[in-house]
């Protein structure tokens, strides 16, 4: 105690006191997190003339406008960038643009940009389907800045649907090369409800376009689209509350856990629900037109027969789409042919597609029931067969048939061309007969095989909803249709 008293006396004598604590700096309020959409597919292009992947289609659908759009559910044609499009004669389709349309960089959007965009897409023909949708197009005239006149080689009741397809998106004539696709690091310049503000390795950032003029007005001011490694990464991001929407990506096991979490007590910190998309996912097995084995009719028949017992979809036109006609056999135990010599095929699938790793291996097992057939499953590179769940260019019967019609067998080319023109130009009864004939011929040629139709995979955080017309012409997610409480 004496030592303590002496020490205290010394402190008092020298005037030493305890230092005053430094004030704690006030904390600046953190910025609210940006609304985030996650998907496993990597962005490959933002140029609508060459887009082939579903994640790219989300960008193309939301960033660009088209003259027309397809209303979800009813599949009716409605104006998008145009005020109206009508047939002024049996072979002339004319669209009128409103005054005031602007691109994201402030340039005016005119009829000349429309003509440039469609001619550019046809010129690139990156997917084959573009030519099919515009089969009747003969020329494009621009009488003035707000009028686009399409001259057709024959009457075509389906031409307006072609103008709603992603490939018909309107790009800026002054900032897009007429022959070369837009580089991925270059910001796209459309006129849609959202504009891209930044493109990074695994993130694409968007902002509402304030000068947007059209029917699909967005609500959330800023969004970003991020790439997730796989279903496991997507589920972890959901558990941490780092994503608001997950498109595709989630495997069946993750979706089952989602249901379990909804019924759990206590509730998880971040709740998510699956958005109903009935019949929104269609699995197809397509021959690569460049495969040397594609011309082998016995092999095509053997592969189709090997899948028959597992097939649950009986046409290339899915159930729920007007014009569906049952054409492929389903179930049973068909007799499998014997090949004359050993055939080795490569079957490719997209590893970001939910369930396709297991489905590809199941298909391999089924196909190898054909004697002398070996199938190697791969995820990249050239292949003979492709397993795909890619959405169509337009969600109509003709749109779904483009997988088949864009690469016909030589012996079927004339027949398919005649039936397709009959479908486009004929009366209602003639159109029904032609559509049935196209689907029946697909079941004879066997170059594209239907496998199954299931519900689409889209999960949203509690408080997030899809409203109005949230999907694009082929069923792609549109950013404008998302609302957050």
pLDDT of 262-314, one tens digit each? 777 777 878 999 999 999 999 999 999 999 999 999 999 999 999 999 999 99
- pLDDT for 20 equals 52
Which pLDDT band, with edges at 50, 70 and 90, does 212 fall under? Answer: very high
Fold of 69-168: Dipeptide-binding Protein; domain 1 (3.90.76)
Residue 7 has pLDDT above 70, yes or no: no
Residue 29 has pLDDT above 70, yes or no: no
Element spanning 442, H or E:
helix 428-445
Please list, residue by residue across 33-52, b when 16 or more beta carbons sit within 10 angstroms of its beta carbon and e when fewer do: eebbbbbbbebebbbbbbbe
Contacts of 181 (CB under 8 A, 6+ apart): 45, 47, 49, 50, 124, 126
Can you give the residue ranges of every domain in the chain? 69-168, 281-454
Distance CA 46, CA 200 (A): 13
Residue 16 has pLDDT above 90, yes or no: no
Fold of 281-454: Dipeptide-binding Protein; domain 3 (3.10.105)
Strands (E), 288-368: 338-348
Phi first, then psi: give them for residue 341, nearest 5 degrees. Answer: -150, 165
- pLDDT for 247 equals 97
* Stated pTM of the model: 0.90
pLDDT tens digits for range 337-394: 999 999 999 999 999 999 999 999 999 999 999 999 999 999 987 899 999 998 998 9
pLDDT tens digits for range 162-206: 999 999 999 999 999 999 999 999 999 999 999 999 999 999 999
- What is the Cα gyration radius of the chain? 28
Which pLDDT band, with edges at 50, 70 and 90, does 17 fall under? Answer: very low
Element spanning 99, H or E:
none
Read off the DSSP letter of residue 18. Answer: P
Measured CA angle at 95 (ends 94, 96), to 5 deg: 130
Tell the residue number behind the tokens 């069923």, with chain if given.
475
Q: What is the mean pLDDT of the chain?
A: 92
Query: By C-alpha distance, which of 218, 240, 104, 257 is closest to 468?
Result: 218
Distance CA 175, CA 153 (A): 31
Cis upstream peptide for 405 (omega within 30°)? no
pLDDT tens digits for range 418-438: 999 999 999 999 999 999 999
Residue 461 has pLDDT above 60, yes or no: yes
- Tokens coding 153: 């080689």
Distance CA 304, CA 451 (A): 10
Mean pLDDT of 110-138: 90
Distance CA 51, CA 287 (A): 20
Question: Would you say how long the chain is, in residues?
Answer: 485
Domains 69-168 and 281-454 agree in fold: no
- pLDDT for 13 equals 40
Compute the half-sphere exposure of residue 217: CA atoms within 13 Å on the CB side of its CA.
7
Q: Which residue has the higher pLDDT, 225 or 12?
A: 225
Q: β-strand 385-388 against 281-287: which pairing, if any?
A: antiparallel
Distance CA 340, CA 220 (A): 61
- pLDDT for 21 equals 52
- Tokens coding 267: 């509730």
- Tokens coding 226: 């991020």
Q: β-strand 222-227 against 464-466: which pairing, if any?
A: unpaired
Distance CA 213, CA 100 (A): 8
Question: How many other CB atoms sit within 10 Å of the CB of residue 26?
Answer: 6
């Amino acid at each position: 105690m004496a030592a303590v008293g002496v020490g205290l006396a010394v402190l008092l004598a020298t005037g030493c006191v305890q230092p005053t604590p430094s004030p704690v700096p006030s904390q600046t309020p953190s910025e609210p997190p940006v609304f985030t959409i996650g998907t496993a597919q990597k962005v490959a292009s933002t140029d609508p003339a060459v887009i082939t992947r579903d994640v790219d289609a989300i960008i193309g659908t939301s960033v660009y406008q088209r003259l027309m759009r397809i209303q979800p559910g009813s599949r009716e044609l409605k104006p998008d960038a145009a005020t109206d499009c009508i047939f002024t004669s049996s072979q002339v389709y004319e669209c009128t643009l409103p005054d005031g349309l602007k691109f994201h960089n402030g340039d005016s959007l005119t009829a000349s940009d429309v003509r440039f965009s469609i001619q550019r897409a046809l010129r690139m023909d990156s997917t084959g389907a573009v030519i099919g949708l515009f089969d009747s197009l003969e020329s494009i005239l621009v009488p003035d800045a707000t009028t686009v006149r399409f001259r057709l080689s024959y009457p075509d009741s389906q031409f307006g649907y072609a103008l709603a397809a992603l490939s018909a998106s309107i790009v800026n004539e002054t900032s897009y090369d007429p022959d070369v696709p837009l580089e991925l690091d270059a910001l796209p310049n459309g006129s849609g409800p959202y504009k891209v503000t930044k493109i990074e390795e695994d993130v694409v950032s968007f902002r509402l376009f304030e000068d947007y003029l059209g029917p699909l007005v967005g609500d959330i001011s800023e969004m970003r689209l991020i790439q997730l490694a796989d279903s496991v990464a997507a589920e972890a991001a959901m558990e941490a509350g780092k994503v608001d929407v997950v498109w595709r990506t989630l495997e069946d096991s993750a979706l089952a856990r989602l249901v379990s979490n909804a019924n759990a007590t206590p509730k998880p910190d971040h709740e998510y629900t699956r958005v109903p998309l009935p019949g929104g996912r269609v699995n197809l097995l397509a021959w690569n037109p460049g495969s040397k084995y594609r011309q082998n009719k016995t092999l095509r028949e053997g592969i189709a027969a090997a899948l028959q017992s597992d097939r649950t979809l009986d046409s290339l036109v899915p159930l729920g789409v007007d014009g569906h006609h049952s054409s492929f056999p389903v179930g049973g135990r068909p007799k499998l042919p014997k090949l004359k010599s050993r055939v080795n095929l490569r079957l490719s699938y997209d590893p970001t597609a939910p369930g396709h790793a297991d489905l590809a291996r199941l298909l391999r097992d089924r196909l190898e029931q054909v004697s002398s057939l070996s199938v190697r499953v791969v995820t990249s590179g050239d292949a003979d067969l492709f397993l795909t769940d890619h959405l169509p260019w337009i969600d109509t019967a003709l749109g779904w048939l483009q997988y088949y019609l864009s690469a016909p067998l030589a012996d079927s080319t004339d027949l398919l061309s005649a039936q397709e023109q009959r479908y486009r130009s004929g009366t209602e009864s003639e159109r029904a007969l032609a559509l049935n004939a196209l689907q029946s011929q697909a079941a004879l040629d066997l170059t594209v095989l239907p496998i199954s139709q299931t519900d689409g995979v889209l999960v949203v955080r509690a408080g997030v909803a899809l409203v109005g017309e949230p999907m694009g012409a082929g069923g792609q997610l549109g950013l404008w249709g998302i609302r957050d409480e």
